[in-house]
Structure 1
Amino acid sequence: MYGLQVKTVNLKREEEKLRVHKFLENFDLKLDDDVDYTLIIENQGEIKATCSKAKNIFKCFAISDELRGENVTSTLISALVDKLFEEGMYHSFVFTKPDKIKVFTSLNFKPIYEAEKAVFLEYGIYDINKSLNDMVKKYNINDKCEKGALVMNCNPFTQGHRYLIEKASKQCEEVLVFIVQEDKSLFPFEERYKLVLEGTKDLRNVKVIPGGEYIISSATFPTYFIRQEDVRLKAYAEIDAGIFGKYFGEKFNIKKRFVGEEPYCKVTKTYNETLKEVLPEYDMELIEIKRKEFQGNFISASQVRELIKENNINEVKNIVPEVTWKFLNTENGKEIMEKIKLSNSPH
């Protein structure tokens, strides 16, 4: 490490980001758009190693061959952990290639799930088993009865979501609805969660639960080491499905996972197909339900957002529950609708 310097990259300066981009390209990697902190190790002004983080997810690692065996990975990881501590975060994750497992386990990362093209590991005192045990206590989940489950984003909560939950509730003694907790959607998690909680309170055998850190959205999955979209999507789906089957299924005694049939979205269609392949390995059945329609169209959250964007607000009323319609007419709801009108985001 003699003569080497660890430096923080100013991500607001395009020329500094470009230097990191060019270094990563030598390893057929890229700098993900969502990184919020990047470190480099330099020797005489030349980048020799780098790593980054997006919130508490470590990513975009690359080390020049000449520095291998110099404890560089440990130095970079320690610096990232220190940064997380500064930000009040004591638990972190990394997605990486399966051939890098030994590197990270030697630094006290614990593998959660390994797919063909990617592996997901975590670091810190808190882990997935503690997280699920906390869910059991907080939401009084009885692991004795067999359950059904749905994982939903609800951006926002529609009549289509309500229909799927009702269908599941009629087929199971108890249903757990996990709401994706990550805030990468136009409707914030807190609002999405409250809408589903309020909109299903008449269904006595349904529990609505925040998804936590282990139900991963496709927006979280890194692009830096898997360039091809279809391969990346498959790897993400395998990891997310595997975690749900292996950990959630076993801990909560979930035997059925319900999804809506996907006629439009390639991402969701691939995800559903992967669930069909992976979940039976964990004694869980995937049940696809035909989506609810209105005037010949399948109801979806993206349809609601599109209607808002086009200022067809009155048409929204036909495809959302009353609780969502009321929320859209509050100050917070109106603010979100204005953001949707100005946004190019599909989320």
Structure 2
Amino acid sequence: MYGVIPEWVNLNDRVAREEVEVFLEGFDLILDQDVDYTIVIRGGPSKGSSIIATCSKAKNVLKCFAVSEELQGEGIASSLVSALLDKLFNQGVYHSFIFTKPANARFFSALNFKLIHSNADVALLESGIYDIGKALQKMKTSYHLGDGEKASLVMNCNPFTLGHRYLIEEAAKNNNEVLVFIVEEDLSLFPFKTRYELVRQGVSDLENVIVVPSGEYLISSATFPSYFIKEEGKRLRAYVNLDASIFGRYFCEFFNITKRYVGEEPYCQVTNAYNEALKKVLPTYGVELHQIARKTFRDVAISASRVRSIIKGRDDQELKDLEGLLPDVTLKFLNTSLGRGIVD
């Protein structure tokens, strides 16, 4: 509108960051902690050099949009989106997402973003050189996946434990083909490539099991935006319902998945809420959820968090317990230089 070029904000500058945060507070929004690039537009007839609009990104997720109310509809938001997409293009990133309020989905659709799914609290849209349909087709081709009925599991495996192995075995016993999706986001102690290889090697004897990366569309609660959903309970509900719906609507339909297996969750609130969402959402897509009692060691459910705690604690007696918690492939990895480098 004013011919003003969006201005980059150095978020390491406390004063500059606070200025953006204060502007967002006026819209009941916050600046997400994972933001790695922020731009603003300044000026206007009565605004002087103050911020009149802003938006940010975290990797390839666009977020934290706000435009002064009197300037909405003037094309400023479009300029901000274009500037962020140019930044991604210069970084060699040609595909992006937007999490936003459902009421804003139509605006971003007009900017060539395609709606993936929405619920009462959040809408997820994408734009770029491919979409979810093309991504799933590439996955199917790359891993030679057929059209027969399949069971599935979605796992982080941080790291791969005997508990994970047990769940996969249970699915393999009762189904002709099992897909194990390993969460691809690198937000865990053990990197994705390591987690993927440990599972792939750890189930290589199960001929009807195929291990595949999850791709970008199975969302981690750690990357789910909080900038417009600040209340934790509401944000958790929005996340679990969105992710469960994307899995049912797209993954299950495309890969002919008719069953999904999960372990009972006695410890983690997020995982337990996610399992409850799956119970409600998956049947609407014709998919059965099978919740399996967790494998135990010394009468305690095996968990990756317990393994990580033992590794960090380095208590000799507890370290011996790892033999009852981890398969050989993970135990051997922990004794390699790469494994020791991760946990040290």
| TM superposition score normalised by structure 2 | 0.97
Q: Which amino acid aligns with 2:200?
A: L
Describe the SS at the equivalent of 1:213.
Answer: coil
2:228 pairs, out of 222, 225, 229, with 225
Tell me what 1:252 maps to. Answer: 255
2:122 pairs, out of 111, 118, 121, with 118
Tell me what 2:93 maps to. Answer: 89
C-alpha distance in structure 1 between counterparts of 2:279 and 2:335, whole Å: 39
C-alpha distance in structure 1 between counterparts of 2:307 and 2:328, whole Å: 14
Runs of 4+ aligned residues of structure 1 deviating over 3 Å after TM superposition are: none
Tell me what 1:321 maps to. Answer: 327
Q: Which amino acid aligns with 1:128?
A: I
Return the offset for 1:174.
0.3
1:148 is aligned to 2:151: yes
Q: Which amino acid aligns with 1:225?
A: F
Number of residues of Structure 1 aligned to a counterpart in Structure 2? 337
Return the offset for 1:45.
1.9
1:163 is aligned to 2:166: yes
Tell me what 2:273 maps to. Answer: 270
1:26 is aligned to 2:26: yes
Tell me what 1:332 maps to. Answer: 338
Return the offset for 1:3.
6.5
Q: Which deviations, in whole Å up to 9, do the C-alpha atoms of 1:131-154 show, x marking residues without a partner?
A: 0001111111111x2110000000
Q: Name the stretch that deviates more: 183-192 or 310-319.
A: 310-319
Return the offset for 1:115.
1.2
Tell me what 2:17 maps to. Answer: 17
Gaps of 5+ in 2: none
1:289 is aligned to 2:292: yes
1:172 is aligned to 2:175: yes
C-alpha distance in structure 2 between counterparts of 1:31 and 1:59, whole Å: 9
Tell me what 1:239 maps to. Answer: 242
Q: Which deviations, in whole Å up to 9, do the C-alpha atoms of 1:169-228 show, x marking residues without a partner?
A: 011110000000000111000000000000000000000000000111111100100011
C-alpha distance in structure 2 between counterparts of 1:206 and 1:71, whole Å: 51
C-alpha distance in structure 2 between counterparts of 1:73 and 1:119, whole Å: 18
Return the offset for 1:315.
2.3
Q: Which amino acid aligns with 1:236?
A: Y
C-alpha distance in structure 2 between counterparts of 1:4 and 1:201, whole Å: 58
Q: Which deviations, in whole Å up to 9, do the C-alpha atoms of 1:1-49 show, x marking residues without a partner?
A: 2264421000111111111111100111000000000001111220111
C-alpha distance in structure 2 between counterparts of 1:72 and 1:102, whole Å: 16
C-alpha distance in structure 2 between counterparts of 1:253 and 1:113, whole Å: 19
Q: Which amino acid aligns with 1:333?
A: G
Return the offset for 1:247.
0.6
Q: Which deviations, in whole Å up to 9, do the C-alpha atoms of 1:118-142 show, x marking residues without a partner?
A: 0100001200000000111111111
C-alpha distance in structure 2 between counterparts of 1:146 and 1:223, whole Å: 37
C-alpha distance in structure 1 between counterparts of 2:174 and 2:192, whole Å: 28
Q: Which residues of 2 match residues 35-184 of structure 1 at below 5 A?
A: 35-43=35-43, 44-143=48-147, 145-184=148-187
C-alpha distance in structure 2 between counterparts of 1:332 and 1:314, whole Å: 20
Return the offset for 1:80.
0.4
Q: Which amino acid aligns with 1:212?
A: G
C-alpha distance in structure 2 between counterparts of 1:232 and 1:113, whole Å: 16
| TM superposition score normalised by structure 1 | 0.96
**What is the identity percentage for the equivalent residue pairs of Structure 1 and Structure 2?**
57
1:191 pairs, out of 157, 177, 194, with 194
C-alpha distance in structure 1 between counterparts of 2:71 and 2:108, whole Å: 17
Tell me what 1:311 maps to. Answer: 314
C-alpha distance in structure 2 between counterparts of 1:111 and 1:285, whole Å: 26
Describe the SS at the equivalent of 1:107.
Answer: coil
C-alpha distance in structure 2 between counterparts of 1:164 and 1:226, whole Å: 34
Q: Which amino acid aligns with 2:335?
A: N
Describe the SS at the equivalent of 1:104.
Answer: helix
Q: Name the stretch that deviates more: 195-204 or 36-45.
A: 36-45
Describe the SS at the equivalent of 1:61.
Answer: strand
Gaps of 5+ in 1: 339-347
Q: Name the stretch that deviates more: 86-95 or 311-320.
A: 311-320
